[in-house]
Structure 1
Amino acid sequence: MTKLKLADLAEARPVRLTIELPASVHHDLEAYGRVLAVDGAQPVPPTRLIAPMLERFMATDRAFRRYRTKTD
């Protein structure tokens, strides 16, 4: 199995957003969801990937973390 940065898709109370993505990003999200599917399971839909990916990105952005600790 490929080791991906995104593994745990915890459930949380959602906030509805409407966004537009380039087609290439949408296709990549679909491919990522297929990779996350285990043993023939249904692929993870792109809508379930976006929030955890953004969360992971912000958690690993050192400059953003420094800014947040100064302003919180």
Structure 2
Amino acid sequence: MAELKLPRLPDRTPVKLTVTLGAELNQALKDYADLYQTTYGSPESVVELIPFMLEAFLASDKNFRPAKK
């Protein structure tokens, strides 16, 4: 088998989760989406923003990164 520079792609199967949010968190997420639109001029729903917010959070957690390896 040939060796390729590009490694095998990770599993990209989307997973749908259902969560319940408190009223304050829900409002904060809506406020963030509003600020995102003001900053970038592009409206994005909270549902669209959450996966990227979670990725950024996990990537920035210095205690999580080593534990994940």
Return the TM-score normalized by structure 2: 0.68
Shift of the alpha carbon at 1:13? 5.9
Rg larger for: 2
* CA RMSD in angstroms, aligned pairs only: 2.2
Greater RCO (CA < 8 Å, at least 6 residues apart): 1
Structure 1 unaligned blocks of 5 or more: 1-11
Q: Sequence identity, in percent?
A: 33
Distance 1:62 1:13, change over 3 A: same
Q: 1:62 & 1:52 partners in 2: Cα distance?
A: 18
- Structure 1 outlier segments of 4+, above 6 Å: none
Give CA-to-partner distance per residue, 1:2-44, whole Å, 9 cap, x none: xxxxxxxxxx7642111000111111111111111148x5632
Alignment correspondent of 1:36:
36
Q: How does 1:1-72 map to 2 (within 5 A)?
A: 14-38=14-38, 43-69=43-69
Conserved in 2, the CA contact under 8 Å of 1:35 and 1:43? Answer: no
Distance 1:22 1:58, change over 3 A: same
What is the letter of the counterpart of residue 19 of structure 2?
I
Structure 2 unaligned blocks of 5 or more: 1-11
Q: Would you say how many aligned residue pairs link Structure 1 and Structure 2?
A: 57
